[in-house]
Amino acid sequence: MREVIFDTETTGLDPKTGDRMVEIGCVEMVGRVETGRTFHAYFNPDRDMPIEAERVHGLSAAFLATKPRFAQIADELLAFLEDAPLVAHNAGFDFGFLNNELEIAGREGISLERMVDTVAIARRKHPGAKLSLDALCARYGIDRSHRVKHGALLDAELLAQVYVELTGGRQIGLGLVDGPAEIPAMADTGQAAPQDALWYRPATDTPRREPRPHAASPEELERHHAFIAGIPGAIWAG
Burial of 71 (0-12, 13-18, 19+ CB in 10 A): middle
State how far the Cα of 178 lies from the Cα of 113, in Å rounded to an integer: 35
* Residue in 89, 126, 150, 214 annotated catalytic: 150
DSSP string, the chain: -EEEEEEEEESSS-GGGT--EEEEEEEEEETTEEEEEEEEEE---SS---HHHHHHH---HHHHTTSPPHHHHHHHHHHHHTT--EEETTHHHHHHHHHHHHHHTT-PPPPGGGEEEHHHHHHHHSTTS--SHHHHHHHHT---TT-SS--HHHHHHHHHHHHHHHTTGGGTT---SSSPPPPPBPTTT-PBPPTT-TT---GGGS--PPPPP----HHHHHHHHHHHHTSTT-TT--
The question of whether 150 is a catalytic residue gets the answer yes
36: left (phi over 0), alpha (psi -120 to 50) or beta: left
Please say whether the beta carbons of 4 and 85 come within 8 A: yes
Residues known to be catalytic: 150
